[in-house]
Structure 1
Amino acid sequence: MAAPDPDPASAGDGPGPVALVIGSSAGYGLAATLVGLRTHRMRGLGIAFEAPETGRRTASAGWYRTARTAELAAGADFAFLRDDAFSDGVKEEAADLLAARFGKVDLLIYSIAAPRRTDPLTGEVHHSVIKPLGTDYRAKTLVFEDSAPRIGALHLPAADGAEREATVQVMGGADWQLWIDALQSRDLLADGFRTVALSYVGSDITAPVYRAGTIGAAKQHLEDTARALDARLGDAGHAHTVVAGAAVTQASTAIPSIALYTSILHRVTADRWQTPVDQAAALWSRLTGAAALGLDDQGRVRLDDWEMNPEVQAAVRTAWDRADTDSISTLADTDWFRDQVGRLYGWHVPGVDYETPAETTVPWPAPAGLGVTTHSS
């Protein structure tokens, strides 16, 4: 993911906003962090839960992405905490650091996708699932065998009520609200405070397993939470969900059928495709007032117009219906998708000689003077 070049006109001459990015090591959270640091002089704190190197394996991909982000942001007044964002402890630590170093927070960006969450009030561990609701899901799926793409068949059983509720507990708005509560209890919300949480709607093609499934139930809870938070903040601030467009991320690649859908979408949109950084740049412009916020009738910020354009969706549907193993290479950008997945983990990066040994022992970034501590996972 390329970082944008600095834009002095957008950044201004003074210090930038104080921001807290929860989920700063991957996907849209990483994109928002890069754009904020490079073009808006963002100060503050990023939080990510990444595994360190051990004697048997390297650190997680997000660990190295965070280290590289810190290099790109050299000199910025920004720190990275490595801890479980769902825990009360990291909320307290983050609040302490923000209060001591920055004062009140102007912006909180919430971008978490996780397989499980421990409820800090009850201690119960909830596990999220990606399943349809009501009826089983049967659809095409993209499979790579010896690097050659083929079309396979997917069958997912419908989730039960407990699985739906557990997914809402992990991926809904409960933790986002606890973060706002924690900052508000410490009087750390600046006048005009804004908070956004990343969401997705997507096509009716993937709706049965996404928007109409367990993840969709969680996203609906997230959006309901946004409206409740916005009402609670009143004149002091605003809360919104942000509906981003499709992307190849660690989270999205776990969703059944999304590989096929995204590969077709990329072929259809061609140079109109919007990367996470493109969309993060548009989001920052809206949050800073450089562009209209662009709310839909449900109060959501929409960044997905390029994907949800009716002509685009009609073309994707036509290709989806026609797709089989013989035609898939002409209907979808399957090589592009495979390379994008590889780049999430450091592979298929142009200009890298993979025959040359690489240093894997990289410290977690801890800028001098910020008093940041990191915790073992």
Structure 2
Amino acid sequence: MSERVLVPRNRGFLFLDSHPAGCGKLVGDMWQACPAPVDGPEDDGPVALVIGSSAGYGLAATLAGLKRAGIRGIAVSFEKAPTVRRTATAGWYRTAATADIARAAGRDLVFLNGDAFSDAMKDEVADLIEQRFGGRLDYLIYSVAAPRRTDPVTGTTYASVLKPIGRANLTKTLVFDDEGRGEVREVETGPAEGDDVEQTVAVMGGADWERWIEHLLGRGLLADGFSTAALSYIGSPLTEGIYRQGTIGAAKSHLEATACTLHERLDKTVGGRAMTSVNGAAVTQSSTAIPGIALYTGLLRGVLGENLVPPIRQLASLWDQLTGAAPLTLDDEGRIRLDTWELTDDVQAVVAERWEAATTATIADLADLEWFRAEVQRLYGFSVPGIDYSVAVATDISWPDHTRP
């Protein structure tokens, strides 16, 4: 068994290794932070499929589904195994920890590692639903963030980009120097060119979500009253130039349009429903790559402190609405809104004031830099309270075995 003392080594917000014990403890902390239902979940819970289950809101959806709704079923992600030189990806270790929690809770949750965009994965999932879970799926949560997607029909590979549409975008962003001090810089991103928008929509829009639903519907595997939700984000006016009004925003609009199409289809076929769930800001491996989002999130935490709602609590609310434990509350566009705590006028006004005042000299007084920097490290299992990082840990942890319940 390979054991190593692991220290955080990073290039910006990207870390070269992950800490297995830290990742496991983080998952355990999320489990503890998720409130248990008043009556407890049913012994034989609903069958759910979570696509993109190893990180961010997808991980929160998996854990909250286990605890709030007692789900069983399948969780899909795409992670790298440990090698001689490198640890596994953080999502690999988080998945192993989630599998332990599911097993301890008595829930049959199968974890699959592979390309969710492929038809081979769709077939494998469909076969499992048919053979292991009674042939009926009750819920599907779609939470996929990827740089590329290969269309399984045409073989064409599309690549997503983070660009504004129409004109260049100049925004502030947050970086950390080698000593961990926060710096505020301006970064300009050139506008989308050629087929940048179409490529990004092909990766991050609703095409693959729709293929999943059509595939499972074609196999007759969707239960009466089936519900599906794709996780999305709108964000603040401060970041809309690069996000909601940019190429990613075009993909999110396509995702929402897909929800309407799927809702009509599901309503007619199985009395089901499809919607998007708009989540609030969080520090994730995807969000840290977007210019301006790091600064915005640090400032938001500086304003809200402990009132910033973490993903696990947001997704607990989503499961309550999906299962009927709480009323389903939709906005005028038919979206579940889990971000209302973030986008109130008073909160956004204070964040906007701090944004304007933010410089390298002032940022430490305006944003919660210590929290943000620690949150980034925790994405990879570092800076997790209760972990002794001077102790060697085993890195060759196996992927959860799904050949047995």
- 2:168 pairs with 1:139: no
Q: Deviations over 1:260-313 (max 9, x none)?
A: 000000111122210000101110111111112110000001000000011000
Deviates more, 1:278-287 or 1:227-236: 227-236
- Mapping 1:117-132, distance limit 5 Å: 117-132=149-164
Amino acid at match of 2:258: T
Identify the residue that residue 77 of structure 2 maps to in structure 1.
48
- 2:212 pairs with 1:179: yes
Task: Using structure 2 for the length normalisation, give the TM-score.
Answer: 0.89
Amino acid at match of 2:208: D
Identify the residue that residue 305 of structure 1 maps to in structure 2.
340
Say what the alpha-carbon RMSD is for the aligned residues: 1.2
List runs of 5+ in structure 1 lacking aligned partners: 371-377
- Mapping 1:1-377, distance limit 5 Å: 1=26, 2-4=30-32, 7=36, 9-74=38-103, 75-102=106-133, 103-145=135-177, 146-235=179-268, 236-370=271-405
Amino acid at match of 2:214: D
Shift of the 313–187 alpha-carbon distance from structure 1 to 2, 3 Å rule, reads same
Deviates more, 1:314-323 or 1:71-80: 71-80
Asked if 2 retains the 8 angstrom alpha-carbon contact of 1:10 and 1:40, the reply is: no
Asked if 1 retains the 8 angstrom alpha-carbon contact of 2:151 and 2:157, the reply is: yes
RCO higher in structure (CA 8 A, sep ≥6): 2
**In structure 1, how many angstroms separate the alpha carbons of the residues matched to 2:61 and 2:253?**
22
Asked if 1 retains the 8 angstrom alpha-carbon contact of 2:68 and 2:319, the reply is: no
Q: Flag as ranges the 4+ runs of structure 1 deviating above 6 A.
A: none
**In structure 1, how many angstroms separate the alpha carbons of the residues matched to 2:328 and 2:261?**
19
Q: Deviations over 1:203-225 (max 9, x none)?
A: 11000000000000000000000
Task: Using structure 1 for the length normalisation, give the TM-score.
Answer: 0.96
CA shift, 1:326, in A, is 1.1
**In structure 1, how many angstroms separate the alpha carbons of the residues matched to 2:306 and 2:327?**
24
Asked if 2 retains the 8 angstrom alpha-carbon contact of 1:38 and 1:73, the reply is: no
Q: Deviations over 1:333-360 (max 9, x none)?
A: 1111110000000111111111100100
**In structure 2, how many angstroms separate the alpha carbons of the residues matched to 1:8 and 1:237?**
24
Asked if 1 retains the 8 angstrom alpha-carbon contact of 2:41 and 2:67, the reply is: no
